[in-house]
Structures are given as structure tokens and as C-alpha cells.
Structure 1
Amino acid sequence: MKIINNIDSLQSLINNYLVANISNDISQDTLNDSMSYSLLAGGKRLRPSLTLATFQIFNDQLSDDVIKAACAVELLHTYSLIHDDLPAMDNDDLRRGVATNHVKFGAGMATLAGDGLLTLAFQWVADNQLDDHIVRQLVIEFSKAAGPAGMVAGQAADILGEHQQLTINQLQVLHSNKTGALLRYATIAGGIIADVDQNTLKLLAKFGEIFGLAFQIYDDLMDVIGTTAQMGKQVHKDHDEHKNTYPELLGIDGTKKALSRALGDAVGTKEELIKQTGRSFDIYDQFLNYFKF
């Protein structure tokens, strides 16, 4: 397959793969409708795009097995959104510009849709023809990123921190798990599938962590200065519920400065990767251009 060197084309490839394959391993019709509803409702597909973009920096053989393994992270991300929106969590009624899953299908079915996407994500990582040592490494890193030392830990800290004032360092740790862990995984997954060396993997992990930080700072900022149409979800909700966010702690100008610092660190890490590998990472600039306000 020809190298795809822009995010829009990667997004189209991912959307087409999800549409064609999401129902293959679901045996219950309503569950299929609920899982597909949230997965196919839209979204930027940044995580699988980041995996595929990173892989293609090192390898131009973009096979169905690579796409399947990369798309697994989108299944898991969508599960996290469904559960995060539930009445017992954030109780949101709008996601990706449409009614949230529990509003459409009820809280019980929404919970099961999330469960289904979570488990199917691991099936997609493992049920392919990639080399065994690559699959093993992907599963280990995927589990760490999504589990009780990663995203789930971040969600738990978010709940526990709702009625207390966190420091900026505590907030960064919370978000490094809640948001950053999966973006870190999405970046290193491309390197793992391409079978790069450990030094390169460490730099990829560093870029993913910084990108995750920038993503969360930007999301918090846009909750204050953005619109529902821009974000596809209700804005100003974090402020109204007195949640710990960057604007709450740093103010608007301080948050913009924090975002600029993170983006500068990301560019610096990209330059380290170029020096380390001798390869072009120009496509990373397209991901960094996401942060506009």
C-alpha cells in the first residue's frame, strides 16, 4: 500500500476499516448497534492515525494486519468515552455532536457496549498475522496504558479529586494517566510494529507523553473558550462543576503559555527523533497543528 502522508487520508482509511469490520465479531444485534453507534459517530481518530503515521516513518508496508492492530486503540478510546459519559461518572448527554450512548440505548446497554469495545480492542491487537514478539509487546503496553496503572488510574484520580483543589503537579500526574497514557501508547505502538530499537522507542514514548499533555491542556482550554459546535460536547461544564483543570489553576493566559511550552517540547523531541533515526518526521507537524484556538 502506498505511504499515506497526511492525517485526513489516514482518518479516511481508519473510518473505512472500522465501518467494514466492527460488526464481524459481535453476535447480538442491539449490542452491535450500541457499539457501532459510538464508534462510528465521528471523532478525529488521532490515536490510530498516530500509530499508523509513526509506523510509516519506518516501514512502507501498511498491511491489513497493521491497520487492525492500530485501530484497536480507537475501540478502547471509544469505550472510555462511553463509560466516562455514564450517569455514575460525568453524566454527559452529548458526545461527538450526537446524544451519548446511555441517552440513546440506556445506561445498562451503554455499559455493555463499552465492555464489548474494550475486550474487542485486545482481540484486534492479538488476532492478526504480526510476529509473535510484536503482538506480545503490544498487548503488554496496551494493558499498561489502559489499565489500573494508566487510564483507569487517571479516571479514579479524577473522581477522587472532584471536591478538592489539586496542585499543578498533581493535575499533570492525573492527566498523564487519564489522557497521556493512551496517546503515549498510540505513538510507541507504531514503533513496536515497525520493530524499532529501544532508544528510538524511548523517544517515541517521550513525544507521545508530551503530545498527551498538550492535548489535555488544549481540551481544558477549549472547554472555556470553545463552543459546543467546535468540540462536539457541552462546553463550560468543567468550570460549572468546579473540576480541576488548567484554566482553573493557571487562568486562560497561563494555560495558553503552558500549551506553548508543551508544543515547544514536542518539537524538540521530534528533532531528537530525526537526529536519532535519520528519518523524516514531518507528519508529526500535522498532529501538532491540531492545537488551534
Structure 2
Amino acid sequence: MRHSILAGGKRIRPVLAIAACQLVGGAAAAATPVACAVEMIHTASFIHDDMPCMDDDALRRGRPSNHVVFGEATALLAGDALLALAFEHVARGSTAAGVPADRTLRAVLELGSAGGPGGIAAGQVADMQGEGDPSARLPAMKYILVHKAARLVEAAAVSGAVVGGAGDADAERVRRYAHFLGILGQVVDDVLDVTATSEQLGKTAGKDAAAGKATYPRLLGLEGARAYAGELLAKAEAELDGFDAAPGSIWLYGLSCGL
């Protein structure tokens, strides 16, 4: 578990949870348990994704994948354990931080929905089924990205906002921001898979193309994918316009531009 979760990475989802909490006037400490939990869920998903039965990748975050180091059985269990620990940590940590129980429960519901058949699991199944399919189109690819990538980004932001005290309207604006951001992140990843090296990415470059996966550069062309990324960035930032220029707002603008 430590091998994968302490391997580095951009930590976009945890930063997003804390920034969304601050955006609505909450203290960063209130969102720390959610931030840790969402990174555990994300890490569990890529431990499983990298296994030979799925994406079969030997490199993650510049280090050998979990199953390469510890074997497939241990990697499978490490991912399962991180999923369980995520929810235990939200429950214990949020209570210790003084987050009201009803808000903790809403955060748990968001994270659980993002990790299961309404999120990552469904997206991964669709992704595997679509490999090598020359008839793949944008609607099918968007389904994969919304479930496999954007849904957990949404959950991170909404959970952070909720434990920070957000009302329903603000939480939904944060959700829309994160939805666009989640798709943007995947479009950028697709572009980098074509244009960057394995050393720059910390994972195997060109693997999506080799597997025949539907990607934005494949369906829109490289320049078309870059243009779409610009549209998503504008839509994401528009959702922040109504918030005060609080620390969380600054973080969120910086996060979207950093992609």
C-alpha cells in the first residue's frame, strides 16, 4: 500500500478537496480526511488498472507497478485494502475534525458512488471493452472518461465543499467545475501520451495508441484535442466566477491552469 500511495504524483484530487472546502469558507483541516481518502481510492484504482488482466502496465509514477514488485495477489489485496481504509479514514478523521455527521455521510456517499458501478468500475469495464474497436466514437469515449476519470474528481471537490459547509447550490457549482476539470485532465493525458516520453510521464508513453484505445487525439486529431482542452478550461473557470477570491478560489484557478 505504501509503495503506491507514497510514490508521488500530482495529488490533484486531494488539493481539489481542500481548495473546495476553503472556497466555501471551511478550514483546510476539515477536508484533510476526505483529501487522504480520495487519494487512497485513486491509488487503488491504478493498482488494479496496471495489472495484467487489465491495462498491463509495468510502470506507474516513475516506479515499477505494484504487481511487478509484490506480485499480482498482493497488488490486488493492496488495492482492496486501500479502498476499505479510505472510508474508515473519512469516518474517523471527520469525527476528530468536528465535521457534523450528516456532512460526513454525504462525503462518504459521494466517494462511494465515484468508486463503484456509477464511476470508476463502470468506466474501466467500458474502457476494456472498447480496446481495438475501430468504430469507437466520441459519445462512447465521453462515457468512459466521465465514469473512469471525471467522477472521482467531482467527488473530491464536492466532498471537500460539503465538509466545509457548502449549501446545495454552491456544491453543485463546484461539481460542474470539477466535471469539466476531470475531462480536461484526461484530454491533457491523451495529448501527453502522444507527445511526451515515458520518462516525462512516469508511465509508459504511447500505450493507449498501441492498445487501440479511443482517445481524443485519435478521434479529433492532436490540434482538435488541444482546442477542446481550451474549451473545457474556459467552462471550468466560468463556474468559479461567482465565488469570492478566497484562498480556495485561487487554488482552483491555479489547478485548472496547471493542467
Q: What's the TM-score once normalised by structure 2's chain length?
A: 0.94
Partner residue of 1:285? 253
User: What is the percent sequence identity of the aligned residues?
Assistant: 35
Question: 2:2 matched to which residue of 1?
Answer: 36
Q: Indicate conservation of the 8 Å contact 2:26/2:165, yes or no.
A: no
Cα displacement (A) at 1:61: 3.0
Structure 1 residue ranges without an equivalent (≥5):
1-34
Report if aligned partners of 2:27, 2:164 keep a CA contact under 8 Å in 1.
Answer: no
Query: CA-to-partner distance for each residue in 1:141-197, whole Å, 9 max, x for gaps?
Result: 111111101111101110111132321122112100000000001111111011211
Superposed displacement of residue 283, structure 1? 1.9
Answer yes or no: is 1:68 the counterpart of 2:33.
Answer: yes
Deviation at 1:279?
A: 4.7
Residue 222 of structure 2 corresponds to residue 252 of structure 1: yes
Name the stretch that deviates more: 217-226 or 162-171.
Answer: 162-171
The 3 A distance-change label for structure 1 pair 119 and 259 is: same
Cα separation, 2, equivalents of 1:166 and 1:81: 23
Work out the CA distance in 2 between the residues paired with 1:89 and 1:250: 26
Matched, 1:234 2:188: no
Distance 2:21 2:129 in 1: 37
| Structure with higher RCO (Cα < 8 A, 6+ apart) | 2
Please give the secondary structure, in 1, of the residue aligned with 2:143: helix
Tell whether the 8 Å contact from 1:69 to 1:126 is kept in structure 2 after alignment. no
The counterpart of 1:138, out of the listed 107, 114, 120, is 107
Q: For 1:267 and 1:132, locate their aligned partners in 2 and report how far apart those are by CA, in whole Å.
A: 31
What letter corresponds to residue 143 of structure 1 in structure 2? G
The answer as to whether partners of 2:161 and 2:171 remain within 8 angstroms in 1 is yes
- Alpha-carbon distance between aligned partners in 2 of 1:240 and 1:190, rounded to the nearest angstrom: 37
**In structure 2, what is the Cα distance between the partners aligned to 1:66 and 1:159?**
33
What is the Cα deviation at residue 60 of structure 1? 5.2
Structure 1 pair 258/66, CA: closer, same or farther in 2 (3 Å)? closer
Q: 1:181 aligns with which of 151, 165, 169?
A: 151
Q: Would you say the 8 A contact 1:146–1:182 is kept in 2?
A: yes
TM-score of the pair, normalised by structure 1: 0.83
Query: Residue 45 in 1 paired to residue 14 in 2?
Result: no
What is the CA deviation profile of residues 12-44 of structure 1, one whole-angstrom value per residue up to 9, with x for unaligned ones?
xxxxxxxxxxxxxxxxxxxxxxx0001111111
- Please give the root-mean-square deviation of Cα atoms over the aligned residues, in Å: 1.3
In structure 2, what is the Cα distance between the partners aligned to 1:62 and 1:225? 36
Give the alignment of 1:81-230 within 5 angstroms: 81-128=46-93, 129=95, 130-164=99-133, 165-230=135-200
- Post-superposition Cα deviations, 1:232-283, rounded to whole Å, max 9, x if no partner, equal 1010111111111111111101111111111111121121x42xxx454222
- Contact 2:25–2:165 (CA<8 Å) still a contact in 1? no
Contact 2:26/2:164, CA 8 A, preserved across alignment: no
Equivalent position to 2:42, from 77, 84, 89: 77
Q: CA deviation at 1:135?
A: 1.2
